[in-house]
Structure 1
Amino acid sequence: MSMPECVGLVAGEGELPAILAREIRARGIDVVAIALSEPIAQRLQPFVQRLYCFGVGQGNKIIDALKREGVRDLVMIGKVSKAVLFHRWRFDSRVWRVLRRVSSFQDDALLTEIIREFEAEGLQVVEPSRFIPDLCPKGGVLTRRRPTRREWQDIEVGFNAARSIGKLGIGQTVVVKHGAVLAVEGMEGTDEAIARGCRLAHEGAVVVKVSRPGQDLRLDLPAVGVQTLAVMREGHATALAIEAGKTLMVGGEAFTRAADDAGISVVAG
């Protein structure tokens, strides 16, 4: 697949936007970034050719900047809390128009309308994995320690539960122990859901993270990183399962080393 000369990047919170920008630049592609906060902009600065900082509610300014820079291919990555949807006084006319088209604030409904809005302006939204394929493990046990028999059973329960809640647009992560689902990710995010489940488990929790069934992987691609492992280690969790080929494992070898050091088994299934 041929690569574009320039890519637009709409960047939310977390370490993924800077990692993606660095990888895109390593391919000789210019990056025009829209940071959704000042701290995000500071992290992106070393890796981009053009940098703008706008709020989530400034849809007109975001699209005008991308079009002015000649962007055609666009990647969206990083966390954006859905809590911003309840601060509507910050929204411009374009964002209001998008929100009026959605039937609910579930992820799929929102993301579909966001893509439509960009595409109506001639911007093609593409999958982040196109530029960072090495961060999506294909399958198998990724760490020195393999899951125990009990952990494998909990992983199976977790995959089934996570896919079920995914169909409802609730979240991507569940925490399981001895076949019981202890926590389901809601609006609070992955790390908080893991911490909550681990408090109930005390030790030995299994964490499972998947994409939603039929999810458009151009937006909200599931991701785990060293911070995920740190939360699990603090909560004495022992296994992490992700969906092969559909989850970004941020950090590569550093992630695997951190898992091995913590005695956490990581599986892509």
Structure 2
Amino acid sequence: MSKVGVIAGSGELPIEFAKSAKKKNTPVEIFAIKNITDKNIEKYGKTHWLYFGEAQKLIDTLKDRNIKKLVMLGKIEHHSLIFSFYKLDKRAREFFSKLKDKRAKSILEAVIQELEKEGFEFIDPSPYLSRLLIEEGIIGSIEPDENQIKDALLGLKIAKEIAELDIGQTVVVKDGIVIAVEGIEGTDRCITRGGELGGEGTTVCKVARKNQDMRYDVPVIGTKTLKSMKKAKAKLLAVEAGKTFLLEREKFKELADKYGIAVVGFKI
């Protein structure tokens, strides 16, 4: 089995991949970003720590370690990519200057293309993470009411259009009104803003892009999402089934029930 390099952002997803790879006897080496990647990832493979923007060092290390296959998992906030130009090395600055625009999808697709030119192959991590994909139906024991379902169906439709424009993947809806749309601030701050504007009882909707490339930026929910919703007094989390990763499932379900939040996977 050939070795896989894991370019790891923040959160649990890269750790979950590394755990799964270990169970499947797939050797991994991890390329972690200082002050972003969870340090616990070191338990699951040889870890190389780099500063954000050290593109040439990443490429050189991958080649030195004879790694050909890559996955890119975990969050690097969009605003970090846009507003940290001063942190980039020469290779990364040249890369950014050639981008047609700086939407998240454009950046991530260009990163993949740039590394593919260097001889690396990005693989689909889904076979290692399929157990995390949300199924259709209710997750937990709280059932949404009829009005919440209506809001969810509207919100999911709007979120799909917003995701296709690569503005964000989350919208907040209440009583048939779109209250907040995710921009550069990210999902959690969008949820909080939705609560500030809409008050109690909002519905949070999160989707994948149309024809989602499962190699990057697949939507993820976890206990952090629920904590943001509790702060916002939101009551329903509607997500796209089969295209959204759920972290720490049992802990997540317990917390959703404790907070009185309904969670539903919808087939779109």
Query: Equivalent of 1:230, from 227, 230, 248?
Result: 227
**Aligned letter for 1:60?**
Q
**Aligned letter for 1:90?**
K
Q: Which residue of 1 aligns with 2:77?
A: 81
Extract unaligned runs of 5+ from structure 1. Answer: none
Q: Which residue of 2 aligns with 1:141?
A: 138
**Aligned letter for 2:193?**
R
Shift of 1:92: 2.0
1:30 paired with 2:27, answer yes
1:56 paired with 2:68, answer no
User: SS of 2:37's equivalent?
Assistant: helix
CA distance, structure 1, for counterparts of residue 226 and residue 38 of structure 2: 26
Q: How many aligned positions are there? A: 265
CA distance, structure 2, for counterparts of residue 239 and residue 105 of structure 1: 32
Indicate conservation of the 8 Å contact 2:69/2:122, yes or no. Answer: yes
1:210 paired with 2:207, answer yes
Superposed CA RMSD: 1.6
User: SS of 1:131's equivalent?
Assistant: helix
Extract unaligned runs of 5+ from structure 2. Answer: none
Indicate conservation of the 8 Å contact 2:11/2:38, yes or no. Answer: no
Query: Equivalent of 1:182, from 164, 172, 179?
Result: 179
* Deviations 1:121-175 (CA, angstroms, capped at 9, x unpaired): 2211123322110000231222222211001100011111111111221101111
Shift of 1:216: 2.0
CA distance, structure 1, for counterparts of residue 203 and residue 36 of structure 2: 32
CA distance, structure 1, for counterparts of residue 175 and residue 123 of structure 2: 39
Indicate conservation of the 8 Å contact 1:206/1:240, yes or no. Answer: yes
Indicate conservation of the 8 Å contact 2:9/2:36, yes or no. Answer: no
CA distance, structure 2, for counterparts of residue 83 and residue 144 of structure 1: 36
Indicate conservation of the 8 Å contact 2:34/2:49, yes or no. Answer: yes
Map 1:36-115 → 2, pairs under 5 A: 36-38=33-35, 40=37, 42-48=39-45, 50-84=46-80, 85-115=82-112
CA distance, structure 1, for counterparts of residue 84 and residue 105 of structure 2: 20
CA distance, structure 1, for counterparts of residue 38 and residue 48 of structure 2: 8
Shift of 1:245: 0.9
TM-score by length of 1: 0.93
TM-score by length of 2: 0.93
CA distance, structure 2, for counterparts of residue 224 and residue 184 of structure 1: 17
Shift of 1:22: 1.7
Shift of 1:39: 5.7
| Identical residues among aligned pairs (%) | 35
